[in-house]
Chains A and B, each alone.
Chain A
Amino acid sequence: MKTIACPDCDLLQHLPDVPPGSKARCARCGRVVARRTSDPIDRPLALTITALFALIVANTASLMGLSVAGRHARTTIIGGCYEMWLQGQELTAVIVAFCAVVAPAGYILFMLTVLLAVRRPPAPQWIGRMVRWAESMEPWSMTEVMLLGILVALIKIAELATVQAGIGMYAVGALVLLFPAIMVSFDAGEVWARIAWVDGTVPPSGEGSPSGGPTR
């Protein structure tokens, strides 16, 4: 049992021990306040490594090709951003590059670092910053939106020319499945429980009542 406050409605409540594979919801607003997975470190690590390879392929291989009247054109993700930049849409190019490349890559790299570093107890303090960065990348990592966007673009263009999906497209598809799998199997609470605190103390095993905080 430990006392927590719901992130969405701030209600103080006792959190019972949550068995692996289940989750607990806030008694007042229904927000999930704790979620434990059966294998919170190794499974997301395996998925993250897979995602890293898919990410590399998705960003280097061609996404799709087009041919019309004997002429061919193809593009990669970053090639699409570069074309927008060349056409005078610099800000749009930067936003697309961030949501399609930078944020997914950042999320994967931060998660990889966290999951590798947290295996050696006590986990160093800087991991906390990495978890924070990974979480801030999460909403901006829009691989699934991009995949749908590419499909709509393909269907629009298919009216005018012959289009083929490239290898990059399948890698993007794999990423779309891998991202939610990482998020579902990862348990940030497990990482926080292992991390050394700011003042250098090793995490108390029976984390319970409100901590003393900085003025302790």
Chain B
Amino acid sequence: MTGPPLTAAQAGLVACETCGLLARPASGGDPGVCPRCGAALHSRRHQSIQHTWALIIAAAICYVPANVLPVLSTSALGSTESDTIMGGVVFLYTSGSWPLALIVLIASIMVPLGKLVALSYLLITVQRGSITSNQERTRLYRMVEFIGRWSMLDVFVDTFTVALVQLQPLMSVEPGPGVVFFAAVVVLTMIAADTFDPRLIWDARVPAEL
């Protein structure tokens, strides 16, 4: 290919997001469906920036109760003790399994926060029309997409702890109100990563090149 790099959008084409077929859109307003796989065609994900912001803000709101409210409460021999996510990390650390404490700390506290920060950074740079470090930003996006699922770790830990430790009246563990907020953070950030369109990172170059 000769000349400056050209994107499909600049050439008036749309790449199907499902099967990758390069198709000519039906008309300006509605690109129609992919002739091969039948998925709806769109040059960029619909209202990507607005949707991603909405999901990030919702996730950030849920992040507070997810960390402040208890996720587990243990009743043993008449006494009840509630643990937050951080409390669970401290419990693992003090009981001698610091590698596990580190894994839970990274998966449950740092990854969700990192995802919120990374996606906000990507959105802000896209909105400001940044043209620098596009490759690094694309790599950051892929990392967010790849790592997101691991934050679900604590929800699984809580579920199986609750399921197993039901030895009334000796000892029982009940889920706390924080679990559902935490699960919501994970689900919302995963959807947010999916609604963000990485091609927007590269679109800012267009006016500079033409």
Residues of A within 8 A of B (CB): 3-14, 28-31, 33, 63-64, 66, 68-69, 71, 73-75, 79-81, 83-84, 87-89, 91-93, 95-96, 99-100, 125, 128-129, 131-132, 135, 139-140, 142, 145-146, 148-150, 152-153, 155-157, 159-161, 163, 188-189, 192, 195, 197-199, 203, 210-216
Contacts and interface: CB of A to CB of B under 8 A. Distances in A.
B165 A213 contact: no
A4 B19 CA distance: 11
B75 to A, nearest CB: 12
Contact of B164 (A14, A73, A189): A73
B157 to A, nearest CB: 5
A96 B159 contact: yes
A58 B39 CA distance: 34
B22 A210 contact: yes
B153 A29 contact: no
A75 B18 contact: no
Nearest to A192: B19
Contact of B157 (A68, A139, A153): A153
A156 B91 contact: yes
B185 to A, nearest CB: 11
Interface in B55-98: 76, 88, 91-92, 95, 97
Given A149-B154, A212-B35, 5 more contacts: A69-B170, A87-B162, A210-B23, A214-B33, A215-B24
Contacts of A11: 5-8, 202
Contacts of B174: 87
29 contacts: A3-B22, A9-B202, A11-B8, A12-B6, A12-B13, A30-B135, A64-B160, A64-B164, A68-B167, A75-B164, A79-B163, A80-B163, A89-B175, A89-B180, A129-B38, A131-B19, A145-B149, A149-B152, A149-B155, A153-B161, A155-B92, A155-B100, A198-B33, A198-B34, A199-B35, A210-B22, A211-B22, A215-B24, A216-B35
A84 B170 contact: no
B118 interface: no
A158 B202 CA distance: 51
B152 A145 contact: yes
Given A71-B170, A87-B175, A215 B26 contact: yes
Contacts of B1: 12-14
A213 B15 contact: no
B199 interface: yes
B121 interface: no
B118 to A, nearest CB: 16
A188 B18 CA distance: 10
Contacts of B124: none
B18 A5 contact: no
Contacts of B8: 5, 10-12
A178 to B, nearest CB: 17
A114 B132 CA distance: 42
A35 to B, nearest CB: 12
B13 A89 contact: no
Interface in B180-210: 180, 183-184, 187, 190, 194, 198-199, 201-203
Given A9-B199, A11-B202, A213 B24 contact: yes
B143 interface: no
Contact of B183 (A63, A73, A91): A91
A212 to B, nearest CB: 6
